[in-house]
Each structure stands twice: as structure tokens, then as C-alpha cells.
Amino acid sequence: MRDYVEIGIGREARRTYDLDQVSLVPTRRTRSSKDVDTTWHIDAYTFDTPLVSHPTDALATPEFIIEMGKQGGLGVINAEGLWGRHRDLEGAIAQVTSNPQDLSNLQQLHAAELNEELLSERISQVRDSGVTVAVRVSPQRARELAPVVIKAGAEILFIQGTLISAEHVQQGGQPLNLKEFIGTLDIPVIAGGVADYTTALHLMRAGAAGVIVGSGVNTNAETVGIDVPMATTIADVAAARRDYLDETGGRYVHLLADGDIHTSADIAKAIACGADGVVLGPVLAQAAEAGGKGYYWPSTAGHPRFPRGIIEPVGSALAEVYTPASAAAARVELSLEVVLHGPSNDPLGQLNLVGGLKRAMAKCGYTDLKSFQKVGLAIR
């Protein structure tokens, strides 16, 4: 069934697909965008849109997280980023963006000690606003930090590394047994990223309420050669979701896509391939509320010895059409509301993201996210 090719004598590889090779095929009666419902329910929480922010300080200031919630999405705080390491968050970020070609500043800032009190204080500030609080911890520090962030107000816990497995094996170490660990928590856990069916199924069996597909880093291909083909992997993990649903007689685990999603079209295509929600990165950095003030980087870019992901100017995706400088300048004065809901003067799917998703669904004749997962697909 899978499409395998023999790349050399006796060595096979699977043929896989990226989101940008996929396009939607409208074959039903069109609908009005107004009739489209993008509501996303996960555990006890309901969101107007299935949009989640990548847990990077290039997005997450307290203001950004609060506004993300108010605009119907879910902002995610990185417990191991700058929030708990530097009281002067703005100053720290100014250092990062002062020389964006060099990751050294970002790396040094991440080497500062984590002040749990400072982190808790900031999480509480978000909690006080009334929006749902989601916090990301790494698998390595989950046991240590989860109690801290939950006490400070976290309602959803992201356990996210670039790529994780349900049971990490380490000689002589005490790696996280996710199943055991999740069993001890009272709040839902979303875990990932994963790049295959098997790992995803393991995470589901470990009790995750959601699984993240993809590494959230656009330079993973260069560093470790694992370049997650998002269209294929989302479909594979959706199959794991189906099989687990059958196996458990009804436990539905959510699939969040985190990789290669830069436009409203990408959001629609990720859902069409089987995602329940999508994690957004650079496209949200257009908002004035975002921490990066004109720049984006994934959370992994600050890794002390093995950074992945670059510090990129906002709007660099537009470079071929507009000059990036002027575009970036124009962009960072926009509000998150405009980025998500418009009005838009952008014809390339980077503003009014929710409007774009709704329009895609309406043009294809679907009014809810779940049924839209069945829309016809074409590849090139």
C-alpha cells in the first residue's frame, strides 16, 4: 500500500510528500464563509480557532499570550526560555535581535539560570487575564518543572522536544517514562514532536491528549537529516489516531501540526491532511504583540551546543514579491487581531489567517473542521 522505491540495490525508501506539494480540490457545493465553524474542542477546553502559537520567546510575551487567547487561539509559554531567566525580557530580546546573523547572544541568554519564581510570576500574570494557560516543558526537565508551572496556573502542559519518543532510552540515566508521568498529572498533556505512526501511537497509549507532528524547526533537515514530510506524516499520525480510537473504543487524541505552516493555505492543507489544530510560528511574528519585534526564531535556536533554527526577519517569505525590509517594517505594526482576523491588504495568505481558513473550507463546501479532513487532495 505504502509507496516504496528501491533507491539502490536492496535499499528502499518511502515516497513522501510536503504540504507545498498538496493542494485542495473543491468538488462540492460552495458555502458561505459565514457559515463555517472553526471551533476546536480539546479536553475541557474550547477555542474559536484551532490555532496554537509555537512556544518561542520570539512570540510569547505575556501580552501576546493573553491576546492570543482573546483572539480565539491558544498561546503557549516556553518554561525553559527567557521568561524565567531574565527579568528584563525586552532588554534580553533586544540583545538577540541586535545581531540576528549570530545565535551566540541567544545561546548565552539561555545559559542563564532558570528562576522558578520569576517564571511563576509571569505565568500567574497570564492566568489572571482569564485566558487558557498552556506551558511547554522539555522531556528532560518535565519532572522538575511541571509541578512549578502547574502550581503557577498552567492548564495544559506541552511536553515538546524537536522529536521525542514515549520512552527515551539512556544508559545509566533516569529518562522520562511518559506514561507514568502523565498518569501523575491532573491536566491534559500535549506531547511531541513526532515524525511517524509508531511513535505517535506510543504517545497516545502513554495518555497524551494531543500529539504534535513535526519538529517545529525549519533547519532540522540540515542538522540531523530528519526532514519531516508534513503531508505524509500528518496523514500517518491521523491513521494512528484512528487506530487508537478503535483500540480504545472512543478515545480521540488530537493532532497538532508544527512545521512548514506559513499561510492560511498551509493551515487549511494541514487540516485537510488530518490535523485537528496547527502550531504557528513566523507568521504570528508579524503581530506587534510578538516578542521578537521584527524577528522570529524557534525555541530550539537557543540550544547552547546544538542550536537549530535561524533568527529570521519577519516577512522574509515575501522577499520575492516585496523588498523584505519595507515589508517587515510594515508588518510589525499590525495587531495580532489583524493577523488572525483581518482586515487584510495581503494577498499571499499571511494576514486574516482565520478568514483564509474559513474561505478555503467554504469554497470546498465544508462547514466544520472534522469533516474538512476528508476534502479531496491533489499533488504535483
CA separation for the pair 6, 183 (Å, rounded): 43
**Residue closer to a second copy, measured from CB, 184 or 305:** 305
User: Is the CB of 126 or the CB of 287 nearer to a second copy?
Assistant: 287
- Rounded least distance, CB 22 to a second copy, Å: 6
- Name which of 188 and 324 has its Cβ closer to a second copy: 324
Cβ 65 to a second copy shortest distance, Å: 25
Cβ atoms of 98 and 105 within 8 Å: the answer is yes
- If the CB atoms of residues 89 and 103 are measured against a second copy, the closer one turns out to be 103
CB of 169 to a second copy, least distance (A): 5
Closest separation between CB of residue 370 and a second copy, Å? 15
Distance in angstroms (rounded) separating the CA atoms of residues 215 and 228:
7
Nearest CB to a second copy, comparing residues 122 and 308: 308
Q: Is the CB of residue 230 less than 8 Å from the CB of residue 213?
A: yes
> Residue holding cell 516504496?
4
**Residue 32 Cβ vs a second copy, minimum distance, rounded to whole Å:** 4
Q: Is 274 left (phi over 0), alpha (psi -120 to 50) or beta?
A: left
- Cell readout for 202 is 506510543
- Here the cell at position 350 is 499571511
Cell numbers for 115, please give them.
528562576
Q: Which of 153, 159, 148 is nearest to 181 (CA)?
A: 159
Cβ count within 10 A of residue 222 = 11
- Which one, 148 or 166, has the nearer CB to a second copy? 166
Q: Residue 149: which of 116, 184, 125 has the closest Cα?
A: 116
Q: From CA 250, how far away is CA 280, in angstroms rounded?
A: 29
Q: Which is nearer to a second copy, 117 or 222 (CB)?
A: 222
Cβ-contact 297, 58 below 8 angstroms: yes
Q: Which is nearer to a second copy, 24 or 279 (CB)?
A: 24
Please report how close the Cβ of residue 374 comes to a second copy at its closest, in angstroms. Answer: 9
**Considering the complex, what minimum distance in angstroms separates the CB of residue 359 from a second copy?**
5
280 neighbors 53 (Cβ within 8 angstroms): yes
Min dist CB 179 to a second copy, Å, is 13
State the Cα–Cα distance between residues 337 and 289, nearest whole angstrom.
10
Question: Look-up: residue for cell 482576523?
Answer: 341
